[in-house]
Amino acid sequence: MNTKQIDYCIELAHTLNFSRAAENMFVSQPTLTYQIKLLEDEVGFAIFERSGKGAALTPAGSQFVTYLANMREEMKRAIEQGQNFSAKYKDNITISMMVRQAVYFLPEAMRIFSDRHPDIQITPKFEYENGVEGFLRNETDILFALKEQTKQIPGIDVHDLFESHIYLISRKEDELASKNLLTEGDLYGRTLMVGGGSPLALKAVQHRLIASGKINFFNSADHDTTLTNVAAGRGVCLAPGFLNDHSGQFAWTPFDCRESFSCVLCTHKNDARDGVNEFIEVLKGLYLEAVAFPL
């Protein structure tokens, strides 16, 4: 199977007409027909049913083309990235994080590092659930994580980045948003959104509040669902400060508790590239200088 056959197959699935598909692909109809037949022989099943009216996808063909289109899109992105990289860069450093806002100063660090090393590319990669697994497969060079996640990971170096605290997220119109610091008593009678893959420290606070018997709770599937529920006035939630996108849509008010999150960067112990260590130092410097920045 080659890229031309993939493109011909996707186009024919779109037009369901051999002549039109061949015209759109700038080849003769016999050429397109022959390549489709070669592809079907290779995969071992009929992708299209032929008739005097044109072509129709078989049930197996319909499923196959869906996967084929996704694969082709991934291939296209890979080729484009490769072209960009080969034209300008001699090295690439990939940093994985769960969400974009987790490392708030990443764009600034990328700008500073690019000024110093214009031939080294920094590539962010967002993996909400499988970042650790990808890092262990050497798919990324730097991993943003909570220190609690790193205790059982072999062969890594852990770099302390910042300490993140717990905040209450509410609508800006909520009376809680007018306070400078919230305590457990401020939440009595309220509905607290919980769940959604909360880190251990946050779960501990949630359980303690619910155990008081004075706070209602509502299970929420993930952080985005929780924020939607908060925006709809269904309740409030607690969250780590590193999830704050600073968009101003919600009020983020510090919550008085002992728990916090040690946010770190992980690198592979056998990765001795100077660029990786320098980029980490740039990021650490930005967080060190941001003494009044809410985390």
Q: Which residue has the higher pLDDT, 91 or 196?
A: 91
Question: Which CATH number is 50's domain given?
Answer: 1.10.10.10
Q: Which of 31, 53, 85 is the last residue of a domain?
A: 85
Closest CA to 191 of 250, 231, 251, 234: 234
Question: Which CATH number is 220's domain given?
Answer: 3.40.190.10
Considering the domain architecture, whether residues 285 and 140 belong to the same structural domain is answered as: yes
Q: Which of 85, 106, 136 is the last residue of a domain?
A: 85
pLDDT greater than 90 at residue 1: no
Considering the domain architecture, whether residues 213 and 141 belong to the same structural domain is answered as: no
Considering the domain architecture, whether residues 175 and 243 belong to the same structural domain is answered as: yes
Alpha-carbon distance values, 157 to 92, 154, 278 (Å): 19, 9, 14
Residue 294 lies in a domain: no
CB-based burial label for 182 (10 Å; 0-12, 13-18, 19+): buried
Residue 216 lies in a domain: yes
pLDDT greater than 70 at residue 146: yes
Considering the domain architecture, whether residues 278 and 133 belong to the same structural domain is answered as: yes
Domain that holds residue 187: 166-254
How many whole angstroms separate alpha carbon 33 and alpha carbon 22?
A: 8
How many whole angstroms separate alpha carbon 137 and alpha carbon 143?
A: 12
Could you report the per-residue pLDDT of 14-61, keeping only the tens digit for each?
Answer: 999 999 999 999 999 999 999 999 999 999 999 999 988 789 999 999
Considering the domain architecture, whether residues 15 and 39 belong to the same structural domain is answered as: yes
3-state secondary structure the chain: CCHHHHHHHHHHHHHCCHHHHHHHCCCCHHHHHHHHHHHHHHHCCCCEEEECCEEEECHHHHHHHHHHHHHHHHHHHHHHHHHHHHHHCCEEEEEEECCHHHHCCHHHHHHHHHHHCCCEEEEEEECCCCHHHHHHCCCCCEEEEEHHHCCCCCCEEEEEEEEECEEEEEECCCHHHHCCCECHHHHCCCEEEECCCCCHHHHHHHHHHHHCCCCEEEECCCHHHHHHHHHCCCCEEEEEHHHCCCCCCEEEEEECCCCCEEEEEEEECCCCCHHHHHHHHHHHHHHHHCCCCCC
Considering the domain architecture, whether residues 220 and 190 belong to the same structural domain is answered as: yes
* Mean pLDDT score, 204-231: 92
Q: What is the token pair recorded at 152?
A: 């059982």
| pLDDT score at 86 | 66
Give the model's confidence band at 220: pLDDT under 50 very low, under 70 low, under 90 confident, else very high: confident
Residue 261 lies in a domain: no
Query: Which residues 6+ apart lie within 8 Å of 282 measured at CB?
Result: 109, 112, 113
How many whole angstroms separate alpha carbon 120 and alpha carbon 145?
A: 23
Considering the domain architecture, whether residues 53 and 193 belong to the same structural domain is answered as: no
Q: What is the token pair recorded at 263?
A: 């946010």
Closest CA to 193 of 218, 211, 229: 218
Q: What is the pTM of this model?
A: 0.71
| Residue 89 φ/ψ, nearest 5 degrees | -115, 150
Considering the domain architecture, whether residues 196 and 229 belong to the same structural domain is answered as: yes
Considering the domain architecture, whether residues 144 and 281 belong to the same structural domain is answered as: yes
Cα 289 from chain centre = 27
Residue 262 lies in a domain: no
Pairing of strands 166-171, 120-126: unpaired
| pLDDT score at 131 | 87
| pLDDT score at 203 | 92
Residue 159 lies in a domain: no
Residue carrying the six token digits 């319909």: 62
Residue 161 lies in a domain: no
Considering the domain architecture, whether residues 60 and 198 belong to the same structural domain is answered as: no
Considering the domain architecture, whether residues 95 and 234 belong to the same structural domain is answered as: no
Total count of domains within the chain = 3
Residue 265 lies in a domain: no
Give the model's confidence band at 8: pLDDT under 50 very low, under 70 low, under 90 confident, else very high: very high
In this structure, are residues 23 and 63 in contact, taking their beta carbons and an 8 Å threshold?
A: no
Considering the domain architecture, whether residues 138 and 283 belong to the same structural domain is answered as: yes
Provide the b/e sequence for 259-277 (b: ≥16 CB within 10 Å): bebbbbbbbbeeeeeebbe
Q: Which of 85, 115, 134 is the last residue of a domain?
A: 85
Could you report the per-residue pLDDT of 73-109, keeping only the tens digit for each?
Answer: 888 888 877 776 666 788 999 999 988 899 999 999 9
* Mean pLDDT score, 172-192: 96
Residue carrying the six token digits 């909570």: 146
Residue 282 lies in a domain: yes
